[in-house]
Amino acid sequence: MSSVAAPLGARTGRRTLLIWTAAAVVYLLAVFHRSSLGVAGLEAADRFHIGSAALGTFTVLQIGVYAAMQVPTGLLVDRFGPRAVLTTAAAFMGVGQLLFAVASAFPLALLARATLGMGDAMTFVSVLRLCAAHFPRDRYATYTALTAAFGMVGNLAATVPLTLLLDSAGWTATFAAAGALTSCYALVVALRVRDTPRGTPAQTTALSAREVAQHVRAAWSVPGTRLGFWVHFSTMFAPSSLGLLWGFPYLVQAQGMTAAQAGSVLSLLVLVALVLGPAIGELTARHPTARLPFVWAYLGTATAVWAVLLGWPGGVVPKPLVVVAIGLLSIGGPASSIAFALARDYNPIARVGTATGVVNVGGFCAITVTCLSVGVLLGGNTADATPADFRVAFLAIAVLLVLGTWRTWVWWRRARAAVFAARERGEAVPVRIRRRVFDLPALPVAEVRPERVA
């Protein structure tokens, strides 16, 4: 299978940056729409006459749709190209938000959020596929992190600005304007975004139903893809679960913070990611061998943080320590972008979309399981939960962290073994690494066929 990508070390031109920016704005809009219910939750409960459990269904549904759509999105990107998928994504999000604006019944509101989630699901994978085609491989991690940072801007826009707009313009006008703007932006994407650099033929993969399954299996069989899946699973789910659903009630009910204090602390999840994301992307782009050591450092830190939060006597942790803990956990968002660099390195360009979708499933599956598990373990009314209740419920996070760390370790060793085996066969390998005492011997796994040596 041939590969098409920007040459290693090639200069990034103004046209390429404009194309990437036009695509990244779609992801900014996606995160804005995804996060918009965070400040409109109480108003949504009144509008649809629902309780806290039904309100939580909005989040679980949207994340569940997102996770379920990742592999199909990757296949669509590989088949039709990122421009077509991004255009469709913007249209879906616009329609979903317009439906949400006019919905007055809970079932229609659920349909609206599901439609929104489907459009959201198509964005990130498409932008990363675009990055893989337009930027040299040594810049891919940087632009992956910058894309994620664009999303954080959307998250910020869904806080104070959206709150002010809801207070002044009201529910229908606010969400209708957001939906209309997103729908109109689909035209900008169609006109401005290009799947490949000028002069480079677009490379798509037309597959039959049987070939689709083989395409997904081929991506999944690559140890680097499997490693990316577990890196994303392990690093992303805890800060995202806190930011999307359980962080606010935990800080208020278990830690005794005011609503304003809890909101300020949770803003660290956005601000730290916004600041550190590009820095981590640049670091790992320049030094690809530092990617997994950084992941291990984060996972070790996260384990220590949860040991403190769950093991503190009485369950009420000193507020400064809670702030530090949330700040440290927020690094997991930027760290999760390393997973996409792994998918990019170990797969040919025609399969990068599918591999990226497979990797992206990891974190969102973990988020869905976490949100549901914590809710089940809390039981009853969240407003009545005690510190002891949250300690038991958050054991679900600790269990998933241990599971993800273990599987990351397993597939890290297998991916390294595959690289050593490929190097012994005289093939190019994505990263030059040295054999260590913990490395596996030669392993009969799928061959590593990257585009070039880092």
**pLDDT given at position 1:** 33
Judge whether 14-196 and 221-454 match in fold: yes
**pLDDT given at position 380:** 61
Report pTM.
Answer: 0.78
Digitized pLDDT (tens) for each residue of the chain, 454 residues in all = 333 344 433 445 788 889 999 999 999 999 999 888 766 766 887 888 887 667 777 877 888 888 888 888 888 888 888 999 999 999 999 999 999 999 999 999 999 999 999 999 999 889 988 888 888 877 877 888 888 888 888 877 877 788 788 888 889 999 999 999 999 999 999 999 988 887 665 555 555 666 777 878 888 888 989 999 999 999 999 998 888 778 888 888 889 888 778 878 888 888 888 888 888 888 888 888 889 999 999 999 999 999 999 999 988 999 999 999 999 999 998 899 899 888 888 888 778 778 888 898 899 889 888 888 888 888 766 667 788 889 998 999 999 999 999 999 999 988 888 888 877 777 766 777 777 777 777 555 444 454 433 3
3-class secondary structure for the chain? CCCCCCCCCCCCCHHHHHHHHHHHHHHHHHHHHHHCHHHHHHHHHHHHCCCHHHHHHHHHHHHHHHHHHHHHHHHHHHHHCHHHHHHHHHHHHHHHHHHHHHCCCHHHHHHHHHHHHHHHHCHHHHHHHHHHHHCCHHHHHHHHHHHHHHHHHHHHHCCHHHHHHHHHHCHHHHHHHHHHHHHHHHHHHHHHCCCCCCCCCCCCCCCCHHHHHHHHHHHHHCHHHHHHHHHHHHHHHHHHHHHHHHHHHHHHHHCCCCHHHHHHHHHHHHHHHHHHHHHHHHHHHHCHHHHHHHHHHHHHHHHHHHHHHHHCCCCCCCHHHHHHHHHHHCCHHHHHCHHHHHHHHHCCHHHHHHHHHHHHHHHHHHHHHHHHHHHHHHCCCHHHCCHHHHHHHCHHHHHHHHHHHHHHHHHHHHHHHHHHHHHHCCCCCCCCCCCCCCCCCCCCCCCCCCCCCC
**pLDDT given at position 11:** 47
Please state which CATH class domain 14-196 belongs to.
mainly alpha
What dotted CATH number matches 221-454? 1.20.1250
* Domain spans of the chain, in order of start: 14-196, 221-454
